[in-house]
Amino acid sequence: MPVIEGKEIRASVPAKVILFGEHFVVYGKRALAAAINRRLAVQVSSRGKRGYHIKIEDIPTFGLELDLEAGNDEKRKVRPYKDYGTAVKALAYVRSSIEYLEERYGIGNEGVEIEIKSEIPLSAGLGSSAATCVATIAALKEYFGVKGDVEGIRSDAHNVEKIVQGAASPIDTAISTYGGYVLVERNEVKRLRLDELNLIVGCVGSIPLSMDSTKASELGLKTKTIVEGVKNRRAIFTSIFDSVFDAADELTAQAIKAIEENDLVNVGALMNINHGLLDAIGVVPRRLSELVKMAQDLGALGAKVTGAGGLDEMGGVGSVLVLPGESGDRIKAAMAIADALVMDVKTGGEGLRIETDF
């Protein structure tokens, strides 16, 4: 396929929060997600030689750690938390996106430089995997002149997520593509028009030094592990899990109504119930549980785990979502003291944006 010399394409997409129904959506139940005002951008340009060169920059990390080993100056170094292993796994999504496009559309006889810049913390339940797939696929399709629409980009990205993760609902790739709000019901994606919500996200991202690096790097595929865990527990307690799934389905329906009516008290109450259901299916690690309880105690209207949740044996890495009411400042301060990365977010932002002149 012909590529114009010097051509540069940038595709950017939003992060997402799942407001209601994560995990249950994998079983065909309803879930509501929203784009938030944090973005990931993939820039594609030509390279002097054949092949792909991929660079990931600017991923928010969670600070630095100091490793003081007695009597050994060489080892007395400040180094970042082990987010590098996670970044390596994030590349699995880029690589699979490229391989998928090569196979499906025959792209790739050129040298391509791919640069990824992200404001979305990795493995935090904020849609970094889907964002990576959607933006990479959109930028490469545009660069190589592959014909198609955003719907095609969304479905390509969803296919890649399924290849990498084994299983994925369409919710994350839909939000990265469309922005705004998305309801997924029996695997069908519907775009909804709802008012903006002001929320707080707290991410637990520090992986303890004691965790071996193989385990730390597996975090890049954390969603896959957690989704499999739910499947295994459901296989043992099928009827109980199915009742919980049905309750979650009804909960999402009532939550949409509450948002439409601007009834934030009920939105918050439903977030608290949703959190309890996620705990019941085993996806709430201790550190996220503590953040949720703390926010609730400090007067949040509602608080819950968002996205895939987490696992204690993977450092409890993941995120919580808080509808703060009047107590936002207190909640944010307490979360920061508890070592979370704290973000004020607004729901409903812009979806995929492709730029050729910048």
Residues with a catalytic annotation lie at 172
Q: What distance in Å separates the CA atoms of residue 200 and residue 37, rounded to the nearest whole number?
A: 12
Minimum CB distance to ligand MEV, residue 161 (Å): 7
Q: How many CB atoms lie within 10 A of CB 310?
A: 28
Residue 25 is a binding residue for ligand MEV (CB under 6 A): yes
- Residue 79 φ then ψ, to 5°: -140, 160
Site for ligand MEV (CB under 6 A): which residue of 169, 206, 319, 347? Answer: 169
Q: Which stretch in 21-29, 147-155, 198-206, 326-334 sits in contact with ligand MEV by CB under 6 A?
A: 21-29
CB 143 within 8 A of CB 44: yes
Site for ligand MEV (CB under 6 A): which residue of 172, 204, 252, 298? Answer: 172
Which residues, 280 to 309, sit near ligand MEV by CB under 6 A? 307-308
CB 271 within 8 A of CB 295: no
Nearest by Cα to 26 from 239, 163, 226, 274:
226
Nearer to ligand MEV, 146 or 164 (CB): 164
Residue 22 is a binding residue for ligand MEV (CB under 6 A): yes
Q: What distance in Å separates the CA atoms of residue 358 and residue 356, rounded to the nearest whole number?
A: 6
Which residues, 223 to 282, sit near ligand MEV by CB under 6 A? 223, 227
Q: What distance in Å separates the CA atoms of residue 200 and residue 296, rounded to the nearest whole number?
A: 13
Nearer to ligand MEV, 44 or 131 (CB): 131
Residue 23 is a binding residue for ligand MEV (CB under 6 A): yes
- To the nearest 10 degrees (0 to 180), the angle between helices 83-105 and 150-165 is 120
Residue 168 is a binding residue for ligand MEV (CB under 6 A): yes
Instruction: Point out which residues bind ligand MEV (CB under 6 A).
Output: 18, 22-23, 25-26, 125, 168-169, 171-172, 223, 227, 307-308
